[in-house]
Amino acid sequence: QKEVEQNSGPLSVPEGAIASLNCTYSDRGSQSFFWYRQYSGKSPELIMSIYSNGDKEDGRFTAQLNKASQYVSLLIRDSQPSDSATYLCAPERGSARQLTFGSGTQLTVLP
């Protein structure tokens, strides 16, 4: 079992729709979770962080965490073409609180 698994892409949604990205993780000790967006050839940029069970909203983005199910998700409302990128789920782990990245879900928002 991979440490971090994300729903296989690519995922295409029309402009204005909701994009749903899912992630499961294996380390029950992980307490902090991050979603990053990465454009091709660029380094990741932080979109959301979540630490507690439930929902966390920031603008068009909502992160959801369920530690019992070891599941974290990201919803993007009113998707825009500029949201087209690869989204990486990254739980923290270990004493140094390293990030373990999932393989990413490539999202394409069609105009």
Partner 1 sequence: GAVVSQHPSWVICKSGTSVKIECRSLDFQATTMFWYRQFPKQSLMLMATSNEGSKATYEQGVEKDKFLINHASLTLSTLTVTSAHPEDSSFYICSARRAINEKLFFGSGTQLSVL
List residues binding partner 1 (CB under 8 A).
41-46, 88, 96-104
Q: Which is nearer to partner 1, 9 or 71 (CB)?
A: 9
Distance of CA 1 to the CA centre of its chain: 19
3-state secondary structure of 3: coil
SS3 content of the chain, % helix, strand, coil (to 5): 5, 55, 45
Q: Which is nearer to partner 1, 49 or 70 (CB)?
A: 49
Minimum Å distance from CB 10 to partner 1?
A: 11
Minimum Å distance from CB 15 to partner 1?
A: 25
